[in-house]
Amino acid sequence: MTESPAPADMPELFTWEFANDPYPAYAWLREHAPVHRTTLPSGVEAWLVTRYADARQALADQRLSKNPDHHDEPSHAKGKTGIPGERKAELMTHLLNIDPPDHTRLRRLVSKAFTPRRVAEFAPRVQELTDDLIDRFATKGEADLIHDFAFPLPIYAICDLLGVPREDQDDFRDWAGMMIRHGGGPRGGVARSVKKMRGYLAELIHRKRNDPGDDLISGLIRASDHGEHLTENEAAAMAFILLFAGFETTVNLIGNGTYALLTHPEQRARLQSSIAAGERDLLETGVEELLRFDGPVEMATWRFATEPLSIGGQDIAAGDPVLVVLAAADRDPARFAEPDTLDLSRTDNQHLGYGHGIHYCLGAPLARLEGQAALATLLTRLPDLRLAVDPADLRRRGGLIMRGLRTLPVAFTPLER
Ligand code: HEM
């Protein structure tokens, strides 16, 4: 790799201060070193792309491969999409680790089963789940919104959608909880949870093959394209990526989104009165703005240069890893007016929170559905919801790709039983 200059005023990356508020450092990078080579905490060297125009171009550049075999240190970079357990070969063949033509084939097949219509039909169930979860803590007057709400909602939602029977969903909740801790749990806990989930999914897929239902797993098994079907391994990897791509991201949308609303009282009041008046416009633009302002995915997943190329005038060598920093691009003043201001009514908002190009988020309609239901229901049912701690005491969860809070303690007037 070619060295890029590291001036004395360059902010330090990947510290705790940075994790809590990376935006000033990203502003510096955008201005002074928009395509910047850095050493990540894991020791791997990668290029960070921080300007909106470069980011959008890089996300769509087919010379940047998603396949970790293109990295010149594959043993380091393999399994770095942030999805636990993906080093297991049978779970590796998923959308975020492959390129066309395999990606095109798998995405087309999954898109036949995971349709916007299926998601729209799921809306009443998402509302029911949202209300049930709020019922569980509403009489207490306090809650940890991450643990009690943002975390269980997406896991139950995706389990229902996939066709995991209700009586098994708490097992999923436990396994997912272990995985999201990024190794912070008991020794071997993550590996054990991945193994259990993998075994469970393989068995479920086998069962659904013999006795299909109206769920997404049965849809994945049934989906065919020019006579081609997913193999059982591919279907298991697909169910796993849907679970993981759709889990921590949505936890963080609800967590970061609620936090942003609670710390921007004027915007929150506008949204609350608009929802009370039965309007949806501000809720819809508002959730997009929350994704732009402090989105769940800080950096897009790993990409690797398959040939020498240039991004924003910076030469990148074949084999170099590239990380597109969505959080930096979405605050670029060259693209967004007053980018550091939260404006829920922003309409010129083509943010990169869901990515761009062929890997654009497949679950965006489900994420929007869950995000809108979660925020609207919280603000309606707990109208005086407030932070129960000083914002300075809140901590972010570690990890390169995702951006989210560990806990979000809140207080409110308890609802009557
Ligand atoms: C607010 C919540 C979400 C956000 C912010 C989000 C964000 C993203 C982003 C940025 C990417 C592209 C990554 C890259 O190019 O490196 C992506 C891809 C993907 N997302 Fe989401 N996501 C969310 C929710 C979901 C949900 C609910 C699901 C499914 C249940 C899902 C499934 C996927 C899949 C399967 C991909 C890979 C698509 C491909 O490679 O073709 N996501 N998501």
CA distance linking residue 33 with residue 28, whole number of Å: 8
Dig out the tokens for 278 from the structure.
């039965």
Q: What is the pLDDT of residue 405?
A: 96
Among 248, 249, 369, the mutation site with the greatest number of ligand 1 atoms within 8 A of its Cβ is 249
Instruction: Compute, in angstroms, the gap from residue 4 CA to the centroid of ligand 1.
Output: 31
Q: What is the pLDDT of residue 337?
A: 98
Q: Name the band, by pLDDT with cuts 50, 70 and 90, for residue 359.
A: very high
6-58 confidence digits (pLDDT tens):
677 889 999 999 999 999 999 999 999 999 999 999 899 999 999 999 999 99
- In the chain, the N- to C-terminal Cα span, in Å, equals 63
Dig out the tokens for 290 from the structure.
């929350």
Q: What is the pLDDT of residue 291?
A: 98
361-397 confidence digits (pLDDT tens):
999 999 999 999 999 999 999 999 999 999 999 999 8
Instruction: Compute, in angstroms, the gap from residue 98 CA to the centroid of ligand 1.
Output: 14
The rounded mean pLDDT for the chain is 90
224-268 confidence digits (pLDDT tens):
767 778 888 888 888 888 888 899 999 999 999 999 999 999 999
Which atom of ligand 1 approaches the CA of 352 most closely?
10
- The model's pTM is 0.93
CA distance linking residue 52 with residue 30, whole number of Å: 9
State the average pLDDT over residues 284-289: 98
Q: What is the pLDDT of residue 76?
A: 45
73, 97, 47, 40: which is closest to 244 by C-alpha? 97
100-127 confidence digits (pLDDT tens):
998 999 899 899 888 999 999 999 999 9
Instruction: Compute, in angstroms, the gap from residue 250 CA to the centroid of ligand 1.
Output: 10
Q: What is the pLDDT of residue 80?
A: 47
CA distance linking residue 417 with residue 411, whole number of Å: 17
Q: Are 36 and 48 in contact (CB under 8 A)?
A: yes
Helix (H, G, I), strand (E, B) or coil at 69: helix
Q: What is the pLDDT of residue 4?
A: 52
Ligand 1 cavity residues, CB under 6 Å: 59, 95-96, 107, 158, 241-242, 245-246, 249-250, 253, 291, 295-297, 300-301, 353-355, 359, 361-363, 366-367, 371
Q: 138-167 burial by CB neighbour count: b if 16+ within 10 A, else e?
A: beeeebbbbebbbbbbbbbbbbbbbbbeee
User: Angle at which helices 364-381 and 123-138 pack, to 10 degrees?
Assistant: 40
CA distance linking residue 55 with residue 57, whole number of Å: 5
Dig out the tokens for 227 from the structure.
């006579």
User: Angle at which helices 281-294 and 248-262 pack, to 10 degrees?
Assistant: 100
Ligand 1: residue whose CA is nearest its atom 27: 246
CA angle 331, 337, 339 (to 5 degrees): 25
Beta bridge partners of 304: 65, 321
66-95 confidence digits (pLDDT tens):
988 877 654 444 444 444 444 445 555 678
Among 57, 216, 354, 400, the mutation site with the greatest number of ligand 1 atoms within 8 A of its Cβ is 354
Which atom of ligand 1 approaches the CA of 326 most closely?
10
State the average pLDDT over residues 313-329: 97
Which atom of ligand 1 approaches the CA of 154 most closely?
27
Which has the minimum average pLDDT: 51-65, 283-297, 394-408? Answer: 394-408
296, 291, 256: which is closest to 407 by C-alpha? 256
**What is the percent of the chain with per-residue pLDDT over 90, rounded to a whole number?**
70
Q: Are 297 and 402 in contact (CB under 8 A)?
A: yes
State the average pLDDT over residues 304-309: 97
Helix (H, G, I), strand (E, B) or coil at 314: strand
Q: Name the band, by pLDDT with cuts 50, 70 and 90, for residue 195.
A: confident
Ligand 1: residue whose CA is nearest its atom 41: 359
180 residue type, one letter? I
CA distance linking residue 12 with residue 34, whole number of Å: 15
Q: What is the pLDDT of residue 79?
A: 46
Instruction: Compute, in angstroms, the gap from residue 244 CA to the centroid of ligand 1.
Output: 9
Please give the DSSP secondary-structure letter assigned to residue 399: -
Which atom of ligand 1 approaches the CA of 241 most closely?
35
